[in-house]
Structure 1
């Protein structure tokens, strides 16, 4: 992936090395993102908790906004190459989504990317490394412990900068959903639904974020030629590795479709490809799709 020399976002907070706490004991069901699926493996192997149970906890239920107390934020050091990479990817998403919102007569509000280690307070509760990257709608921030990229390589056998960028773009996709009002509508509908119905809504929300990640990649590549040979394949491999069916099969030896909250490997690949193949936001309507 060609990213060196492109604009870095200023909307990055570096909390690495700070102690967590001050944000409650859980997410209250409000945080959403690609990272919640890693619980299917991390929870099983390290926490001793059913992956399905943890997935439902992280993506369902109510919960209010928790007050956040933390040390003053600061920018990552200029010598940190990985931090420069994620700041550049974030800056690229800002450029793409600002232009797309402007074209439809709307204003894009830029999210903040928070780098943390171990745990950190958020407006959705205490964020922890084990949950992977996530987006908190209440404070409009994307949270990531960069050690997740090692997990991608070691446990999911997925590497490559574009696959890493896909992770950021997916979380920014949730921010887009938040700005459009989609997230609130889904959360309200989920509270009135059965567990199976609520899970199905979560799947559509996550697949749409995958599609939005593809939309970003399409426009970023057209404007700045960021893609190199093999980049798309690595992103598709990442989408395949984190499908609910793949994770459940690896973690517990069986697949339970009614418990899916992010979509199958095939679905995640299909919707990411839909976005990156055409770049049209309107074609990411997973909620209107008869077949996912």
Structure 2
């Protein structure tokens, strides 16, 4: 991805090293990655659990430690997690790209796009949706319209999940911004209401459709970014590989050896690839309606 030397968003809030509970609210314990049941050993309020995660929390289970990472091909770069300054610049540039893409699309529809803030934290963070730790992965909080990201996740994306490359990282950010778009269009509010009277399996099924739509919106971002000339050869392959590696079925198979469809919250590898690719190929928001028909 061509990102060096380009515009960076000013909507980045750095809470790293601030000490949890004080000042900016960052800091705390380093993630203990461990296996257990069907989730992670950290409590986050329900809104974050079902709406917030851009990456399935099962991705960080200790059972994945032994799985290794996928071999890196010539099309899959190492990512940009090497130095803090470089990664910060990359994140700010990708966020700026999402601002440009969605700003233009909202403007074309006669609307104004309220830009979200991306909060960088380490260990733990306090959001308007509650307290979260690094083990939750990146997430979006609709209550404060902020994206939350511990940059160590990018290293885990590469080394634990087998999804290297800068565009895989950009896909993660674009997915979380997709949740912001859903918040602005009322999708998150409507699906939250639907879940209130739903069974666990029904609620999970709703969550899957929410997440797949965010994947499709990430694909729309990729479509417009390519049109702007910033995508390089192999970038889309990196995103498609990331979508495959973080599918619920793939993560469950790696972490617990058993796939439990009723517990899916983000969709299968095939579904996540399908909806990202649909957004990328079509560039049309109307093609991202995951709430009609099959997925």
Deviation for aligned residue 1:21: 3.5
For residues 154 and 165 of structure 1, the distance between their equivalents in structure 2, rounded to whole angstroms, comes to 17
Query: For 1:183, which of 180, 188, 192 is the aligned residue?
Result: 188
For residues 208 and 35 of structure 1, the distance between their equivalents in structure 2, rounded to whole angstroms, comes to 11
For residues 215 and 159 of structure 2, the distance between their equivalents in structure 1, rounded to whole angstroms, comes to 22
Q: Would the aligned equivalents of 2:63 and 2:256 in 1 still touch at CA under 8 Å?
A: no
| Structure 2 equivalent of residue 228 of structure 1 | 232
Are residues 1:27 and 2:49 paired? no
Deviation for aligned residue 1:26: 4.3
| Structure 2 equivalent of residue 42 of structure 1 | 60
Are residues 1:104 and 2:109 paired? yes
TM-score by length of 1: 0.84
For 1:108, what is the secondary structure of its paired residue?
coil
Deviation for aligned residue 1:44: 4.9
Gap runs ≥5 in structure 2? 26-41, 65-83
| Structure 2 equivalent of residue 291 of structure 1 | 294
| Structure 1 equivalent of residue 155 of structure 2 | 150
1:47-70 deviation digits (Å, cap 9, x = unpaired): xxxxxxxxxxxxxxxxxxxxxxxx
Q: Would the aligned equivalents of 2:2 and 2:231 in 1 still touch at CA under 8 Å?
A: yes
Are residues 1:12 and 2:16 paired? no
Deviation for aligned residue 1:36: 4.7
Q: Would the aligned equivalents of 2:163 and 2:241 in 1 still touch at CA under 8 Å?
A: yes
| Structure 2 equivalent of residue 200 of structure 1 | 205
For residues 41 and 182 of structure 1, the distance between their equivalents in structure 2, rounded to whole angstroms, comes to 25
Q: Would the aligned equivalents of 1:207 and 1:268 in 2 still touch at CA under 8 Å?
A: yes
For residues 134 and 176 of structure 1, the distance between their equivalents in structure 2, rounded to whole angstroms, comes to 14
Q: Would the aligned equivalents of 1:34 and 1:170 in 2 still touch at CA under 8 Å?
A: no
**Equivalent runs, 1:104-143 vs 2, <5 Å:** 104-143=109-148
Q: Would the aligned equivalents of 1:21 and 1:126 in 2 still touch at CA under 8 Å?
A: no
Deviation for aligned residue 1:244: 0.3
For residues 232 and 281 of structure 2, the distance between their equivalents in structure 1, rounded to whole angstroms, comes to 15
Deviation for aligned residue 1:4: 1.2
| Structure 2 equivalent of residue 90 of structure 1 | 95
For 1:121, what is the secondary structure of its paired residue?
strand
Deviation for aligned residue 1:41: 4.1
Deviation for aligned residue 1:135: 0.3
Deviation for aligned residue 1:30: 1.5
1:261-286 deviation digits (Å, cap 9, x = unpaired): 00000000000000011110111000
Q: Would the aligned equivalents of 1:173 and 1:213 in 2 still touch at CA under 8 Å?
A: yes
Are residues 1:219 and 2:219 paired? no
- Do the aligned partners of residues 95 and 104 (structure 1) sit closer, same or farther apart at CA in structure 2, a change above 3 Å counting? same
TM-score by length of 2: 0.84
- Do the aligned partners of residues 35 and 103 (structure 1) sit closer, same or farther apart at CA in structure 2, a change above 3 Å counting? closer
RMSD: 1.8
Large movers: runs of 4+ above 3 Å? 33-36, 43-46
Deviation for aligned residue 1:107: 1.1
Deviation for aligned residue 1:258: 0.8
Q: Would the aligned equivalents of 1:35 and 1:131 in 2 still touch at CA under 8 Å?
A: no
Deviation for aligned residue 1:43: 3.8
